[in-house]
Amino acid sequence: MIERHFARLRARDVVDAAEEEAIRSAISEIREYPADLTFIRAGELLHNSTLLLDGFMCRYKDLKSGQRQITELHVAGDFADLHSFTLKRLDHEVMTLTPCRVAIVPHDNLARITEEFPHLTRMYWFMTNVDAAVHREWELSLGRRSAIARLASLFCELHTRLKLVGLAEGSSFALPLTQTDLAECLGLTNVHVNRTLRELREKGLVEFQGGKVTIRNRTELANVGEFDPSYLYLDHRPI
């Protein structure tokens, strides 16, 4: 399953055998988490980073009223909290949305990588920069995009990210999230998400049913969402 992590890295730059071995041996254990588990709380002192092997998880922040804003979705192959290596305490929670399989990477082991593998260190720096770019794109969505454009852009983003790690078959991919999860990503209510999904379906752009997304017209979906994948930095070049 860690292959998905390597696929994500290797889409951007070469990872040699020694670097691959350094990553593999940095993992201290594999854990299984159930769905809807907040396994990192804001403010707690962290000693490990979590590499997602399988499933979907998210970063979120919430208000006292219980209203939650998901700030980024993580798919298999992502480090959910590589930034906790330097921050040690996060300003947000991290929660599983589906059952997840994760690899635990102690910060001490990451420290060793930074000392012995400068190129790999730059690659991980790059990856936290990509997370920041995703946050900026979501900020644009939440602040400025219409409901239909928010959803169109999110589906395009997920399609692109999942394809990279071999989890999209042509124009469809499994997305075992609820309407509420989507609403919390998009800053909308469930009813509004439901109505927007119907609009997208009626326009013949995309369908979301039974935990599966099927894109019917990728070009037009990207137009509606003003989706430009350049913020995902997918080009292969030396880092």
Partner 1 sequence: MARYHLHLHNSIGFVRDEEGAEFQDLEEARSSAVDSVRSILCEEVEQGVIDLRGWIDIADPGGDLLASIRFAEAVELRLDGEES
Kindly list the residues in this chain that would bind partner 1 in the complex (CB under 8 A): 146-147, 178-180, 188-192, 194-195, 198-199
Q: Smallest distance, Å, CB 190 to partner 1?
A: 5
DSSP 128: H
C-beta atoms surrounding 52 within 10 Å? 25
Q: Smallest distance, Å, CB 121 to partner 1?
A: 43
Tokens of 208: 């979301």
Any alpha helices (H) in the chain, and if so which ranges?
A: 3-10, 17-26, 84-87, 107-116, 118-144, 147-164, 179-186, 190-202, 218-225
Q: Smallest distance, Å, CB 203 to partner 1?
A: 12
Nearer to partner 1, 114 or 178 (CB): 178
Nearer to partner 1, 51 or 193 (CB): 193
Could you give the CA distance from residue 123 to residue 79 in angstroms, rounded to a whole number?
Answer: 12
Q: Smallest distance, Å, CB 41 to partner 1?
A: 22
Nearer to partner 1, 82 or 185 (CB): 185
> What are the phi and psi torsion angles at 206 (to 5°)?
-160, 150
User: Is residue 59 a contact partner of residue 92, using CB atoms and an 8 Å limit?
Assistant: yes
Q: Smallest distance, Å, CB 199 to partner 1?
A: 7
Nearer to partner 1, 170 or 211 (CB): 211
Could you give the CA distance from residue 1 to residue 16 in angstroms, rounded to a whole number?
Answer: 18
Nearer to partner 1, 114 or 179 (CB): 179
User: Is residue 9 a contact partner of residue 15, using CB atoms and an 8 Å limit?
Assistant: yes
Nearer to partner 1, 26 or 183 (CB): 183
Q: Smallest distance, Å, CB 31 to partner 1?
A: 26
Nearer to partner 1, 80 or 151 (CB): 151
Tokens of 163: 């394809």
DSSP 91: S
Q: Smallest distance, Å, CB 59 to partner 1?
A: 21
For residue 79, give Cα distances in angstroms to 54, 104, 220.
11, 10, 31
Residue 217 CB-half CA count within 13 A: 11
